[in-house]
Structure 1
């Protein structure tokens, strides 16, 4: 499984490598204003970010089977990071996807394509049954991603994740393997995503 990678057009995802730490650190440093409103934080206080340590921790989670950390690329250039985390096997067989993309790559289809590729990999390669994405109500670009891909809206989770220094409300979206027998990417690119399944109810 060390060759975990997938691509569509100029967008690709691959398993993170130790040598990615420098590029990722630079992207995070130059995108502070862009990313900080959506970044997970520690409720016990700020922790200095060292991507070398973070990458080592992510790869250990991968070896333990609890997560799969990907780098997102556009045309071979590092564009951001996508993590499949909280993998549960057995009767749950589920995982959660989280991601960030650099501002200079926003609007190029990197995020929806990467999420589609990763979800298909979760179902086909990792043999999971369900994939979830949780998004802050204020994060309009990410809400558009799940709407494009047809992730089903599953409900509201108040004070769910500590983001940007406080406990933040989230909307939950999910897909099961039965929802996309042809795959997420193929369903999206062929225009077969059901209308409205990923929309947040107006109430």
Structure 2
């Protein structure tokens, strides 16, 4: 079933539903941040991906109507600053989703990403009724690794050649939270300084493995 997509806010930072009229602003942000974002962008292993922002928004909205996703834009003081997408929503015995995001370079360091992820996670846990949220991050993406560390997402392992990123299959570190781990909410736990420091710790063996090519054949 479709999920109502709310506007959620903490101070100067908010997330709201993406709209077709955001297309021009999103396209400008994506183009202005190509160098900043390209190395983390999902790509198509069988051909080039179309840079059609309006089509992408329509696809996200279609998924939302089917109950499979929650597409947000991230705003800072009312200015569009990035996107956050809750995707692959499953219900029933799994009841989980994954979260992905990007933020424009000029907004880096203002706490937008952890706040947006915390707001979206709390909505998924306590309004949508999901049990588990997962975030997968490239080993080289230190800013995103700091996000899951701040929020206390628990490290679950290395996934080899997991997602096609920037032209090749890339390894990812996987992190997750379940609703039982955050009874007062992800945002409140973080803002209250109650995040277990060890949750996002990555074993050195996995860091080393991610530096080595996967043996094939």
> In structure 1, what is the equivalent of residue 215 of structure 2?
none
What per-residue deviation string (whole Å, max 9, x for no partner) do you get for residues 131-160 of structure 1? 000000000000000000000000000000
Q: How does 1:49-128 map to 2 (within 5 A)?
A: 49-128=51-130
How much does 1:3 deviate?
Answer: 5.0
The separation in 1 between residues aligned to 2:187 and 2:112, in whole angstroms, is: 13
Consecutive aligned runs of 4 or more in structure 1 exceeding 4 Å deviation: none
Moved more, 126-135 or 2-11: 2-11
> In structure 2, what is the equivalent of residue 174 of structure 1?
176
> In structure 1, what is the equivalent of residue 20 of structure 2?
18
Gaps of 5+ in 1: none
What per-residue deviation string (whole Å, max 9, x for no partner) do you get for residues 89-130 of structure 1? 110000000001100101110000000000001101111000
How much does 1:52 deviate?
Answer: 0.5
TM-score (norm 1): 0.98
What per-residue deviation string (whole Å, max 9, x for no partner) do you get for residues 44-101 of structure 1? 1112211101001100000001111000000000000000000011100000000011
CA RMSD of aligned residues (A): 0.8
Aligned length: 203
Gaps of 5+ in 2: 206-217
The separation in 2 between residues aligned to 1:11 and 1:43, in whole angstroms, is: 35
